[in-house]
Structure 1
C-alpha cells in the first residue's frame, strides 16, 4: 500500500471522502478532475418559445385532462388528483410471503399535482414573492391534510426535461404513502441517533455550524439558510434549512413563510443565472413523519428541503450517476466550497429580466 504524500492536503486539489451523517453514506471528492476535457454527451438547449397558454396542455386553466375532467380557470395555485397515480388508497394487500427472499408489503396512498401558476411560460424564480408565498401556503395545507392520515407526505418538484419532467407548466407533485420510504427512513434513524448522542437535532447543529463557517453558505436571512452541504453529491446541490427548530412545513409561522418565499426566489434566480438557462433540478421537502408515526416523539427531526441540480460545467453538460456511483459510492468533481462560492457571487436579478431591460 502506497504511503501518504508529502505535500499538504488541499480539498480543491486532492481526492478525499466526506461523510454524510444524514444518510450514513460517503462521497468521493475528486476536484482535480474538473481539468479534464469533456467529450461526453451534450444536452439540447432549453426551449424558450413556450406558449403562455396552450389549450391542449392538460395543466393549463380550462384544459381537458386525460380523464375527461376540465380544469377550472384558476388564477393562482391549483391542486388536483394525479390522473396517473403511482399510489392509490384502495390497493389490495399482496398477502403473506412464502420465503424471506420474496417479501412484499401493502402500499397505499394518494398522489396529487400542484400547479404553481396559471401561465406555462413562467417558473418559480420569475414569480413574485407573494406568488411563491401562496405556493408555500398550499404546500403546508396539503402536507397537513394528507399527513392527518398518512405517515409520509413527499412534496417534490422535477424541473426541466433533463430531470424527466414531461410538461413545462410550473408544477410539483405530492405523494402521500402508507409507509415510510427508504430515504426519510434513513434520515429518521440518523437524526434520532445524533440527538441521542449529542443532545440536539443534527440539522439544527449543522445549520449553526455552517452559518458560522460561511465557506459553504450561499444565502441567509433572519429565518433561513441555503448552503451547499459538506457532503453534497450533485455539483450545485443545496440544502435549505430553517434557523429555528421546526418539524414540518405546516409548523411555519407567517413571517417564516414570507422569508422562505424570498430566499427561494433568490436561490432559484441564482441557479438560472449560473449558466443563463432555466436551471433543471429535482427538489423535495423532508419533515417529521405524520399520521400514526407523527404521534411518536419527533424532536430529532428538522424540516429541510433538498435541491439536486444535474448541470456541471454549462447549460449543456450534466453530471451522470453511472459506473462508480451506481456500483460503489457517490463521487463529485467540483468541491462543495467551490460550488458555494460560484453561487454566492451570482447576481440576484434574473438574467432574462436583465436582457429585457437591455
Structure 2
C-alpha cells in the first residue's frame, strides 16, 4: 500500500499501513515513503479474551489477561521480534528489511477492539475493549531515547500524535503512550520500544487529575512558584523539572509554558522542545550513576471529553535511588498509595542539572 504524506506540527512525514497476516495493523512512519514487499509473517490468532473487573474498595478497574503469560520473554538476539526481517532469518513483527519507526498491534494485548462480554459473575466486570500497540523507536536493537537522535524523536512525537487522534476518533476514553525501560521494571524485550494503551474508561489517577485541572489547578503557575531549584532544563517552551511532590527518587516531569491539553495542541517549536527533552532526560539519568537508568515513562494528556483547563505532562519515574540501589514499592506504598521518597526533589534536580 502506498504511504500517505502527513503534514506534522514540526515537519512532514509519511505513514504506511500494512495489514498483517493475522489481522493486526502495522504502521510504518518515516521522513521518506516506505516501500518494499513484506516477507513471511506470523499467522496465528490473536487472543481478545481480556476483561476488566472493578475493585469496590479501591474504586478502580483492573485488567485480566491470562493469555499474556505466553508473551515473548527475553528472546535471544537472533530471535528479536522487534527487529527488521532478514532474508532467511526468523519471522519478526516487522516483515520488512528496514524501517524508521514502527507501531503495530500487540500480539498479546491487554485491551482489544473486539474483547468479548465477560461471563456472568457476582462481581462488576466489563469487556476490555480498547487497543494495545507496540511502538518500536528504531530498527537498531540497542539504544534509547537519548541515543536515537533528535530527528527520530521528533518523528516519534508526531507518530504518537497521529495515534492519539486515531484512538480518540475510535471512541477511546483515555490514551496512554508509555515506555518501560530496564529489566528492573519488568521489560522482557531489550529492543528500544514503548507502548500505547487505549482505554474504554478513564483510569482513576487521570480522572482525578482532570478534575483538579477543571477546578482551576495551574501546573505551570506552580512550576514557576517553585523556583529554579526544582528546574533541570528547558527547550522550545518545554521545561523539565523535579516536582516537589514527586513520589519516585529523581522523578522528572516535562510540560509546556503554554497550557496544552496534549501534544496534538503543540506548535512546531514545542514538538522540537519535547523531543529534545525526552532525550536529554534519559541522557541525564544514564550519567547520574554511570549506568542505564531503569524507569517508567508516560504521556499524560487530557481524557476524551474532559479537557477543561488540562495541562499535558510527560512523567518519568526512575527506580534507582542511588548507585546500585533500587527503589522498591513495598507494603506501605502498595497498601496505601503513600510513598516514602528517599531523595528530596530539590537535591534530585541539582543532581540532574550536574549530570547535564
- Please indicate the TM-score interval, normalised by the length of the shorter structure: 0.7 to 0.9
Q: Paired residues, what number?
A: 280
Deviation at 1:320, TM superposition (A): 0.8
Give the secondary structure class of the aligned counterpart of 2:201.
coil
Provide the TM-score with structure 1 as the length reference: 0.73
Q: How do 1:196-275 and structure 2 match up within 5 A? A: 201-210=217-226, 213-275=227-289
Identify unmatched segments of 5+ residues in structure 2: 1-73
Deviation at 1:69, TM superposition (A): 5.5
Give the secondary structure class of the aligned counterpart of 2:206.
helix
Give the secondary structure class of the aligned counterpart of 1:226.
strand
Q: How do 1:170-181 and structure 2 match up within 5 A? A: 170-181=192-203
Deviation at 1:66, TM superposition (A): 10
Q: 1:333 aligns with which of 313, 317, 342?
A: 342
Give the 3 Å change call, closer, same or farther, for CA 220–67 of structure 1 in structure 2.
Answer: same
Q: Distance in 1 between matches of 2:132 and 2:309?
A: 27
Structure-2 residue corresponding to 1:277: 291
Runs of 4+ in 1 over 3 A off after TM superposition: 63-70, 94-98
Deviation at 1:68, TM superposition (A): 7.6
Structure-1 residue corresponding to 2:17: none
* 2:213–2:308 Cα contact (<8 Å) kept: no
Structure-1 residue corresponding to 2:308: 299
Q: How do 1:1-358 and structure 2 match up within 5 A? A: 54-62=77-85, 70-94=94-118, 102-149=123-170, 150-193=172-215, 195=216, 201-210=217-226, 213-290=227-304, 294=305, 298-314=307-323, 316-328=324-336, 329-347=338-356
Give the 3 Å change call, closer, same or farther, for CA 133–65 of structure 1 in structure 2.
Answer: farther
Give the 3 Å change call, closer, same or farther, for CA 66–152 of structure 1 in structure 2.
Answer: farther
Identify unmatched segments of 5+ residues in structure 1: 1-49, 196-200, 348-358
Q: Which moved further from structure 2: 159-168 or 318-327?
A: 318-327
Q: Which moved further from structure 2: 181-190 or 130-139?
A: 181-190
Q: Distance in 2 between matches of 1:96 and 1:54?
A: 44
Give the secondary structure class of the aligned counterpart of 1:332.
coil
Q: Distance in 2 between matches of 1:190 and 1:121?
A: 40
RMSD: 2.5
